[in-house]
Amino acid sequence: MAEKLVIKVTAGADAPERCSQAFTVAAVAAASGVDVSLWLTGESAWFALPGRAAEFELPHAAPLPDLIAGIQSGGRITLCTQCAARRGIREEDVLDGVRIAGAQVFVSEIMPDGVQALVY
């Protein structure tokens, strides 16, 4: 059984169901005691900014701010360095507890034994 779950979400408001699924799985895993690392890439990068998750709506889905709080209570959220730069997002702009890191850190998280990686 995997000891850590790393989820990369590439979708944002452009693909709301896929986006919501990634956040939901990450939050449920964190609530279940799994070590979770959620990576925000592509259009999901916008959710690293304060207030942006509250703008996201999807019928019958948990609110993104609640899911983010659940993920942060038992895991880590990382914003892709290049994705942040392309959108003009700086470290001082992001939610408390969100780090900005690049591919080297992502690879170092997914390569050890006992890690399960998912991409949405």
**82: helix, coil or strand?**
helix
**Strand pairing report for 4-9 and 35-40:** parallel
pLDDT of residue 92: 98
Whether the per-residue pLDDT at 1 is higher than 70: the answer is no
| Beta-bridge partner residues of 75 | 36
Quick: pLDDT tens for 58-106.
999 999 999 999 999 999 999 999 999 999 999 999 999 999 999 999 9
Query: Is the Cβ–Cβ distance between 42 and 82 less than 8 Å?
Result: no
**Strand pairing report for 4-9 and 75-80:** unpaired
Degrees, nearest 5: CA angle 75-80-83: 145
Query: Is the Cβ–Cβ distance between 89 and 49 less than 8 Å?
Result: yes
Cβ neighbours for 21, distance < 8 A, ≥ 6 positions apart: 120
Q: Once rounded to an integer, what is the mean pLDDT over residues 35-40?
A: 98
27, amino acid identity: A
Confidence of residue 7 (pLDDT cuts 50, 70, 90): very high
Q: Once rounded to an integer, what is the mean pLDDT over residues 95-119?
A: 97
Q: Once rounded to an integer, what is the mean pLDDT over residues 22-48?
A: 98
pLDDT of residue 56: 97
Q: Count of CB atoms within 10 A of residue 110's CB? A: 15
pLDDT of residue 120: 97
